[in-house]
Structure 1
C-alpha cells in the first residue's frame, strides 16, 4: 500500500508546472476581462498593460442560501469537468463522497430526489437512473443537511432541479451518447434522449442500454477457531468471478400547464436487467457456482399542482426479481450440491396531499399527509440434485412469505424570514410504521436556522431526527450461499429500524469556501458484519442492530485557481467514529477510530481554441472500522482528457481511472478469535465516450424512484 502515499503528491506535482508557468507569465499581475479573452483582441490587451497593476475581477457565487437549504450553481461548477451524467455531476458538490457505490453528504447517507419528488425507487435503481440522465439537464441543485418535513424526506437531501424550458415552443432537441470502458473486461453504454417543449405541453423521452462483462477476484485467508476441540483451521481460498449483464432503462415524462402555477404531470420509469455470473473457488475449498437474475421495474407517478399552493399525487411501483443458483462445493469431508431459486416481487403505492401558504411579514405555513403501503412477495426454494428434498440434504427450509408494510405520516411546519439576514424553518412530523413485527409511532422534529451576516457569508445551523428502515430482503428468514458455500448470508426478521439524531453547523465564506462541523448519534444502527462460527467451519454474514454509532466530523472545501489554466478544489474531512454492540454474538465490542479523507480535483485548460481540457483527480482515505472489521487505507488517482467541438455540441472524452489500482479497500478482522483477510481485486480502467447534441439541446426535468430497500 506504499503507492498510496504518492496520490496527493502526484496531483500537486501535476498542478505545479502549469501554476508556476502562469505565475511567471503574469509577473505584472495583469488580469484580462472576459471580453478580451473571448475576442483575443491584441489592442484590448495593450490597453490593460497601462492600467494599474492590481485589478479586481467579479465572480458569480456558486452557492446561495435560503431557509434551510443551500442552492448550488452546479452547471457552472462542472463546466469543463469530465461529467457526462447527473450522478457524476453530484460528486462535484462540496462534501459529497462516493462510498460503496452510494453517495454520501458529509459521510452521512443522503437522499437524492428530482424536482422535489420523492418516489418508491430504491437507491440502486435511482443511481442507475441518475447515471442515464445527461448532466446538461441540471438547472440547479439544492442541498439540505436536514430536509424539512414538507419534502417527505428525513435527514440529508439533494434536490436536483432539472430544466423545464429549453427554447422556442415546438422544437425537438436531444442527445445521443456512446461509451466504451475497458477494465479487466469491456463494457459499453448507449443512450438517447429527446425533449419536446410546447407552449402548454412538454414531454421528454430517455432510453439507455448498458452491457458488457466484468471480472474480479477475492483472495481469502482465515484462521477459523473451533470451540469443540480448541483447534484452529487454516482457510486459504482464491475465487474468480466472471459476469455479463444487460440493463435497459427507459422513461417518459409529460407536463401540461393549465395556467400559471397550475399544472399536471406524469412520469413513467421502467427498467429491464439480466445478469449471469460464474464463480470458481480453489484452495481449501473447491467450488463452482453458476447464477443468474432477471429484474423488471415499472414505476408511474401523477402530480397535480394548483395556484393556491395545494399539491396532490399518487405513485405506483411494481418490481420483480427472480434468480437462481447452481452450486457444487467440496471442503474436506463436507460437500454441497444443490439448485436454488429465489425471487422478490414488490407492489408499492404512495398517496400524498400537501398545502403551502405564503403569509404576511415573511411567514410561511405548510402541512400535509403521506400514506405508503407495500407488499413484499418473496420466496426461496432449495433442491438437492441427488437426495432431492429430504432430511439428509442439510439444506435450508423453503421460504415463501407475504409481508406488508404501512406508513402514515402527518406533518406541519412553518418558515419565517426576519429581514434579509435571518431565516428559520421548523417542522414536526408524526409517523406510524406498521409491519408484522413492528407497530410504532414516532415524532420527528427538524430545525434549520440560516444567518447572513454579510454579503457572501452564510451561517447555517441544523438539527433533525430520522428513522431508516432495513431492506426488504434483509428481513426475510432466508439463507443464501456466498461463493463456494463457506460463507452464508442470513436474513434477520427481527431487524429494527435505526433512529438517528444529528446536528450540524455550516459556514460558507465568500459564497464558495465551505466549512462544516457535525455530530450524529444513531441508535440501533444496522450493519452487516462477518462472524466466524465456533461450532462449524462457516462464516456468517447477517444484518444486526448495534447499540449505537456516533460520528463527529469537520469538513473544509476550498476551491482555488491559477490564472486561466488551472481550476482546483481541495476537500478535507476529519472524522471520529464510534460503534458499540453489547450483544454481538459472544464478542461484545466498543470501538472508535479517527480517520481523514483528502480529495483534490484539478482541471487544466490546455487550449481554448480548440477546447481541450485535462482533469486529474486524487482521493486518499485513512483507516476506518465497521463493526469488528478494520478497513485499511485506500485511494484513487484518475485522469481524463476532454475535447469539445462543433460549437460545443460534440464532446469526445478519454480517461484512465484508478491508475495505481488502489481504489478497492481490502478489509480484515483481528478481533479476539476472529481472524480473516479478504483481498479484493482492483483494476485500472481506460475508456472513450462521445456525446452529440442536436436541436440546440439543453434539457429537462424528471424525478427518480426510491428502490434502496429492494433486492
Structure 2
C-alpha cells in the first residue's frame, strides 16, 4: 500500500516544485475557462508556454510558435502545429480520422482545396491563436476533430489604416509567382477590410505505370509513361465589415469570391503486349488529353453575437464549374475510340442558417442549445461523345436536393479547480433526393444521433489529462454520385459511384499535457462505411477502373508524442512521433474482398536556429519520415521530406525577406504497388514538390489582422 501513497506524494512535490512558496501578493493564470492557478509575484525567469489547455482545447500561441520561422501565410502556419503534417498538399492531424478547419469559430462552406487556397492567400501575421479540438462542441456547427484559427482584431477606439503587401517568386519545374494585399480601416468599433490575392500555379506531372492484368485467361504486359502540365491562375477576394456595440454585441457581414481558369494537358505513351515473354502482338498507343475550363464561387455570410450568449447567422454560397475534355488516341485501333469529347457543368446553391444559445448558470454550470438547417440544390451535367456519337454511359443530367436539420443540447460544468466536463448530444435529420431523366429517387433519408464529450482533470499546471469522445458523418461529393465516366487514357478511366453511402466516424482520444509543452496522445478511430477511391483491373474488358467504394470499416489506433526541446537561445526544436495500427476491411470489392492491417509510423522534426541578432537572421530546418502504409489492396511506399529556410527581419520589424527550399529531395510521394489476388501493378510518381521560394513582406500602419470567416464547399467540384 506504500507505493500508491509514494506516487501521489511525488506528484504533489513535482507539481509544487514549479513555483516558490511565498506570502507575497499573487496573480493568476487561466488553465481553462473555470480553473485558475495562483502565481507568486516573484518568479524565476522561464519559457513562455506555446501551448495552453483552455476549456478542453489545445491552444497554441501562434506569434510565439512561428516567431522567426520562414512562414508567409496561414497555410504555412498550420504546418508548424505539432502533429500537423502536409503530404501532397493535404494537411492531416495525427490521432484523428479527419479534421474540419474553422475561422474564428465559424464553419466553412468551401471544399478543402478552396479553404487551403484562401489560407494560402491570408498573411501569417493575421493569426493570433490556433485551437486544436479533438471533439468540437456542437455550437461550432461541426462534429469530430476541428482546428480553429483565431484572427487578431485591429486596434479598437482609434482611427487607423493598416495593411500588408507581399510577393513570392516560386521555382518548381516551372517558374511561378503570387502576390497579395490587405487593407484594414478601424474607427470606434467599426472595422472594414479587403483582401486580394493572385497566384499562378503550374504543375508538372509524371507517372510511370506497369500493369499486368489477367483478361480472358491471358496475362497482359502494359507499360505507361504519363506526362502532363497543369496551370491554375487563381484570384481570391474578400471584403468584410463589422461593428461592435458598446454593450459588446457584435454584427458582421462578409463576401468571399474565388475565380479560377484551369488547363490540364496530359500525354500518355502506352505499350501493350499479350505476355511478358512474347514480343508478338505488341501495340503502341499515344493519348493526348486536355481538360480546361473556369470555375467561380461567391459566398455571403452574416453573423450576430450578443452579449447575453445568443449567436445567430447564416450564409449563402453559389458555385459554378464548367469544363471541356478533348482526347485523342493514335493510331486508330479496332474497339478503341479515336476521339473522345465531352462538356460538363456543375452548379451548386447552398444556404444555411443557425441559432445557438449559451447560458451561464449558478455553481459553474453552462447550458448550450441550438440548431442549424441547410438546403442544397446541385445540378450536374455531362455530354460525352465518342467519334462523334453520343456516349450514353458517360452522359447524364442529374439534379440533387439535400435538406439537413440539426438540433443539439449540451452542458459544461467545473466541479472544482481540477475536474471539468463538457458533453452534448446532437440529432440530425437528413434527406437527399436525385432526379435524372425524369426519374426521381431518394438516396438517403434518416435520423442520426451524435454524442460528444470532453473531460479534463488538472492535477496541477504541470500535469493535465483530457479525454475526448466524438462522432460524425461524412458525405460523398455531389458529382461522384452521378453515373459519370472520365477517360484518363486508352487504358484507364474513373467512374462515378451512384450507390455510395455516407460513412460514420467514432473517435476517442486521451491527451496528457506535461509542463504545458509535452503532449502525449492515445487514440482510437472507427469508421463504418468508410469510402475512398481504388483501382481495379477489370475482368470483363482490358482496362483499369478507378472508383470510390464503401468499406465495411476502417479502424486505426495509435500513440502520438510531441517533445519540444531547446539548446540555450540558439536551437529550438520539436520532435513528433506517431505510431498507428491501421485495419481496412471491405467485403464487396468486386470479386476480391479484403481484410488488411499494417503498422504505420511517422517521425517529424522541426528545428529553429538563431544565426545572428544584428542582422536578425534565423534558420529553420524541418523534415519528416513515414513508413510503408496501405490503402485497400494497394501498398504505399515510404516517404520523407527535408525543407529549410532563412528569414531576415529588418526595418524595425516591418519588413521580412524569406528564402526557403521545400522538399529538397522531391521525395514526398509514395510508390504504389498492388499484388493481391490476381491484381498486379506498380506506379512510380515523380512529384513536382521540390520548390525554391523567395518572399518579401512589408507591413504598414501598425498592421493587425481582422477576423475572417470561411466557407464550406467540401462536396463541390467535378473532380473525381
Normalised TM-score (structure 2): 0.88
Q: Give me the whole-angstrom Cα distance separating, in 2, the residues matched to 1:480 and 1:107.
A: 34
Contact 2:167–2:177 (8 Å) recurs in 1: yes
Among 458, 465, 490, which residue is 1:459 paired with? Answer: 465
Contact 1:87–1:131 (8 Å) recurs in 2: yes
Q: Give me the whole-angstrom Cα distance separating, in 1, the residues matched to 2:600 and 2:330.
A: 41
1:356 and 2:361 equivalent? no
1:321 corresponds in structure 2 to 321
Q: Give me the whole-angstrom Cα distance separating, in 2, the residues matched to 1:349 and 1:505.
A: 36
Q: Give me the whole-angstrom Cα distance separating, in 1, the residues matched to 2:572 and 2:354.
A: 44
In the TM superposition, what are the counterparts of 1:268-667 in structure 2 within 5 Å?
268-284=255-271, 285-330=285-330, 333-336=334-337, 337-385=339-387, 387-389=388-390, 396-436=393-433, 437-482=443-488, 484-667=489-672
Q: Give deviations 1:651-684, integer Å, cap 9, x for gaps.
A: 1111222112211112111111111111111342
What is the CA-CA distance between 1:456 and the residue it aligns to? 2.7
Q: Give deviations 1:77-100, integer Å, cap 9, x for gaps.
A: 111111111111112112212244
1:177 and 2:166 equivalent? yes
Distance 1:168 1:689, change over 3 A: farther
2:60 corresponds in structure 1 to 72
2:38 corresponds in structure 1 to none
Distance 1:195 1:275, change over 3 A: same
Residue range with higher mean Cα deviation, 579-588 or 210-219: 210-219
1:673 corresponds in structure 2 to 678
What is the CA-CA distance between 1:648 and the residue it aligns to? 1.0
Contact 2:180–2:198 (8 Å) recurs in 1: yes
Q: Give me the whole-angstrom Cα distance separating, in 2, the residues matched to 1:378 and 1:556.
A: 45
Contact 2:95–2:521 (8 Å) recurs in 1: no
- The SS at the match of 1:90 is helix
What is the CA-CA distance between 1:710 and the residue it aligns to? 1.1
- The SS at the match of 1:76 is helix
Q: Give deviations 1:41-64, integer Å, cap 9, x for gaps.
A: xxxxxxxxxxxxxx9531222222
What is the CA-CA distance between 1:585 and the residue it aligns to? 0.4
Q: Give deviations 1:381-437, integer Å, cap 9, x for gaps.
A: 01234x433xxxx66242111101111000000000112211110010000111121
Q: Give deviations 1:613-660, integer Å, cap 9, x for gaps.
A: 111111100000000111100011111111111111111111222112
Distance 1:82 1:140, change over 3 A: same
Q: Give me the whole-angstrom Cα distance separating, in 2, the residues matched to 1:397 and 1:574.
A: 43
Contact 2:526–2:556 (8 Å) recurs in 1: yes
Q: Give me the whole-angstrom Cα distance separating, in 1, the residues matched to 2:548 and 2:213.
A: 21
2:18 corresponds in structure 1 to none
Q: Give deviations 1:225-281, integer Å, cap 9, x for gaps.
A: 11x2x0011110101101222100000111011233311100111000011121111
Q: Give deviations 1:108-147, integer Å, cap 9, x for gaps.
A: 3111111111132221111111111111111112111011
Among 82, 86, 109, which residue is 2:70 paired with? Answer: 82
Normalised TM-score (structure 1): 0.89
- The SS at the match of 1:335 is coil
Contact 1:445–1:465 (8 Å) recurs in 2: yes
Among 155, 163, 167, which residue is 1:166 paired with? Answer: 155
Contact 1:186–1:214 (8 Å) recurs in 2: no
What is the CA-CA distance between 1:212 and the residue it aligns to? 4.0
Q: Give me the whole-angstrom Cα distance separating, in 2, the residues matched to 1:371 and 1:536.
A: 46
- The SS at the match of 1:426 is strand
Structure 2: unaligned runs, 5 residues or longer: 1-42, 272-284, 434-442
Q: Give me the whole-angstrom Cα distance separating, in 1, the residues matched to 2:187 and 2:491.
A: 60
1:216 and 2:221 equivalent? no
Q: Give me the whole-angstrom Cα distance separating, in 1, the residues matched to 2:627 and 2:571.
A: 27
Contact 2:87–2:669 (8 Å) recurs in 1: no
Q: CA RMSD in A?
A: 1.4
- The SS at the match of 2:623 is strand
Q: Give me the whole-angstrom Cα distance separating, in 1, the residues matched to 2:662 and 2:90.
A: 18
Q: Give me the whole-angstrom Cα distance separating, in 2, the residues matched to 1:682 and 1:395.
A: 36
1:237 corresponds in structure 2 to 224
What is the CA-CA distance between 1:335 and the residue it aligns to? 2.4
- The SS at the match of 2:452 is strand
Contact 1:66–1:423 (8 Å) recurs in 2: no
